Amino acid sequence: MPDGLASRRIHCPYCAETLQIQVDLSAGDQSYIEDCQVCCQPIQLNCTIENFRLVSVEAQCST
């Protein structure tokens, strides 16, 4: 794993598939939308980062 990135597994809120995401720890807290790799629906991801550690990731429907 490259420096500054953390990978996490999340569950798609639409199809419940397990997805692996990568989060850039140098950017601090971030919210963004990533399309599910399985059902292609937009997932809202809310990442909490403290001291360059990924504390939590929430995945929810973007609508």
DSSP string, 16-63: --EEEEEEEGGG-SEEEEEE-TTT--EEEEEEEEETTEEEEEEEEE--
CB of 2 to Zn ion, least distance (A): 26
The only residue of 5, 31, 35, 39 in contact with Zn ion, by rule CB under 5 A? 39
The only residue of 5, 15, 55, 61 in contact with Zn ion, by rule CB under 5 A? 15
Question: What gap in Å lies between CA 24 and CA 36, rounded to an integer?
Answer: 18
Q: Does 55 bind Zn ion (CB under 5 A)?
A: no
The only residue of 38, 46, 58, 60 in contact with Zn ion, by rule CB under 5 A? 38
Q: Which residues sit at the interface with Zn ion, rule CB under 5 A? A: 12, 14-15, 36, 38-39
